[in-house]
Amino acid sequence: MAVSKTDFINYSRCPRYIVLDKIKKDKLDADIDISEYKNIEKESLIEELLGSMYDYEDDNEVDLIDVPNRQLEAMMDYYKQVETEAGRLTEKYFGGKTTYSKDTYNQECLDFNRNGIKYLCYVDVYNENSDGVNIIEVKATTTNQYKKLGFKNKDKEFISIFEKNGPFYRLKDEVCNLNELYDFDIDKYQNQVNKLFDRWGIGKYIYDLSIQRFILEGEYKASNNMEALKNIHYYLAVLNADYVFDGTYKDGKPLYNPDDNDNEIINFFDFTNITKLMQPVIENDASKIERVLFNPIDQECDLGKWCGFKKPGGCKYFNQICGSKIPHKNSSLNYISNGQGFMTPNGRIKGLDLINQGYLGMLDVPVEWITRKTHMIQRECLEFNKVYINKEKLKKGLEQIEYPIYHLDFETFPCPVPRFKGEWPYIQSPFEFSLHIEKEPGVCDKIKDNYVFLAKTHEDEREELVKMLIKYIDGSKGTLFAQNVPFEKGRIKELSNIFPQYKDRLMAIYDRGFDLLWLVNTNSKMYEDLGYDEEEAKVFNYYNKDLSGSFSIKKTLPVFSDLSYSDMTVKNGTEAIVEYANYPLMSKEEYNIKYQALIDYCQQDTWAMVVILDELRKLVK
């Protein structure tokens, strides 16, 4: 029996994952005979679980669990590029012999046997030099999440827990004497370091690296090579969030030289000591995995942070099986801004603990727990099928809009590695925009007053996008209008810095931003400035039970119109990213179809804002 590193990560979520995975694998390996399946207590339970894993369309079996991640597939070459850059910089900074490859099976493989199980993993970058062995796990995340770990001293200065030397980060206590540092709070420092051990939080990738250490040490111990263990170091290689690409290309591909500030595109975090301290945790998890693997009794487990609910890389069985009891609409989790949950006589309860204790729907939450005005309104709208409207406040908000209105929406490509000059890792690089110009209230034609820019290739067409943007938007008058306007403003500001020759005109547009959410939801500061007290300023202006706790445009549009995305070829932003990413793979005929579909989708987003705004005007008449 083999357990890969990926298996280990998933099997250690909860005991039930192993059982569900075994049922699914047995189903894939053969047509299992339910009556002979001895490892599960109830035959009907297996049938029920399999029924949740598979569906049938036109007599074809459809896997509901291992659903292809189209965005991941479309971006895979870029993710592989991160590994290539990490390998290149390992050779540059570590010396010696380095093994890495875009193909996993050409990477260094580690394995050892324990209690009848073969544990194995592949190493992204394996380096041997005169100082020993360096195990380097590459993750397509950025330095930001680690750099933010720190605290403020008495002078309100931020103190990082890391010391940086070139492309290397090491914990402060590993490179200096903390007691000799002036105004250094060791307790605050240790509290921040402890966050690295949270595998469900910022320590997620460190847990991953710790599994590799567990397997490598198992292999070395099995071969009685104990002395070599003293000279092994463990690093996490991640993208440098401060790196800015200078626009150098070789054979048409970006060449990631050090930038103008001498930043490398990859930085290395030395987690040798942290992974050592994590070994008892890994050992304990391995023992739990082994017990369940050899005695897979299915039983429901509490839902929790280990499920990865609504997070990338979450449990693949959650939606179809363990979390299927959560209502799709108006669940107890859909109370707005409710990260702190509810205060009860027995203490605070929040998140998935509400589900664990049987509070599934919004109305299942005891009414005496509801203390916030927004939650009271949500509950009343659902319970009594009411629509809440604060007409006076909404009208005041509408009066703040200056015409013409420029309804703007960007589609962007969040590439792990920068593609064009002036970009950095994961910049939201615009490749399309739709603009509807509403000259006077309600005066806007869906086709005639719409302007769309869409990149035709993967070449750098950003300047053409900027030229078209400033051609049609007059920054001296009117309103830049968007759903979640900080996103559009953020892209405009980035473009103004990348193309300084257009900065004045772009920033004039930037300064005229107004958000559709300020009307449907609220903007506390704006409404306080308009004379509303703090409590009323915080409450949304409109609520309908069909919003189910969300003011996203996909939720608000059906409430205010008959428009829908369901019958469109491109239905959401993720699909837009995928189609743009797949340009090079398309035939001419497919390209023409998908190109028009991208135009239709982005146009729908801005037209939706026109329609919703018009309906809001009607509500206050």
- Please write the tens of the pLDDT for every residue from 251-309: 999 999 999 999 999 999 999 999 999 999 999 999 999 999 888 776 789 999 999 99
Q: Taking residues 311-331, what's their average pLDDT? A: 93
Q: Which CATH class is domain 393-619?
A: alpha beta
* pLDDT given at position 520: 97
Query: What pLDDT, in 10s, does the model give residues 465-481?
Result: 999 999 999 999 999 99
Which residues neighbour 351 within 8 Å (Cβ) at sequence distance 6 or greater?
333, 341
* pLDDT given at position 38: 43
Return mean pLDDT, the chain. Answer: 92
Percent of residues, the chain, with pLDDT higher than 70: 94
* Residue written as token pair 């001498």: 262
H-run or E-run covering 113: strand 108-114
pTM, 2 dp: 0.92
Return the percent helix, strand and coil in the chain, to nearest 5.
45, 20, 35
Query: What pLDDT, in 10s, does the model give residues 404-435?
Result: 999 999 999 999 999 999 999 999 999 999 99
Q: Taking residues 177-183, what's their average pLDDT? A: 83
CA 564-407-436 angle, to 5 degrees, is 80
For the cut 60, the answer to whether the pLDDT of residue 533 exceeds it is: yes
What the block records as the tokens of 227 is: 């002395």
Query: What pLDDT, in 10s, does the model give residues 445-501?
Result: 999 999 999 999 999 999 999 999 999 999 999 999 999 999 999 999 999 999 999
* pLDDT given at position 29: 55
* Amino acid occupying residue 578: V
Read off the pLDDT band of 154 (50, 70, 90): confident
d(CA 26, CA 20): 10
Read off the pLDDT band of 49 (50, 70, 90): low
Cβ proximity of 414 and 494 under 8 Å: no
More confident residue, 290 or 23: 290
* pLDDT given at position 277: 98
Rg over alpha carbons for the chain, rounded to the nearest Å, is 27
Query: What pLDDT, in 10s, does the model give residues 195-222?
Result: 999 999 999 999 999 999 999 999 999 8
Q: Taking residues 26-51, what's their average pLDDT? A: 52
Residue extents of the structural domains in the chain: 2-69+286-318, 78-284, 325-385, 393-619
Cβ proximity of 3 and 295 under 8 Å: no
d(CA 560, CA 566): 16
d(CA 420, CA 407): 27
d(CA 554, CA 28): 36
Write phi, then psi, for 513 (nearest 5 degrees).
-70, 140
Query: What pLDDT, in 10s, does the model give residues 114-134?
Result: 999 999 999 999 999 999 999
Read off the pLDDT band of 40 (50, 70, 90): very low
* Residue written as token pair 């370091």: 193
Read off the pLDDT band of 179 (50, 70, 90): confident
Which residues neighbour 334 within 8 Å (Cβ) at sequence distance 6 or greater?
362, 378, 548, 549, 550
Q: Crossing angle, helix 485-498 and helix 462-472, to 10 degrees?
A: 120
* pLDDT given at position 37: 39
* pLDDT given at position 33: 47
Query: What pLDDT, in 10s, does the model give residues 334-345?
Result: 999 999 999 999
H-run or E-run covering 168: strand 168-171
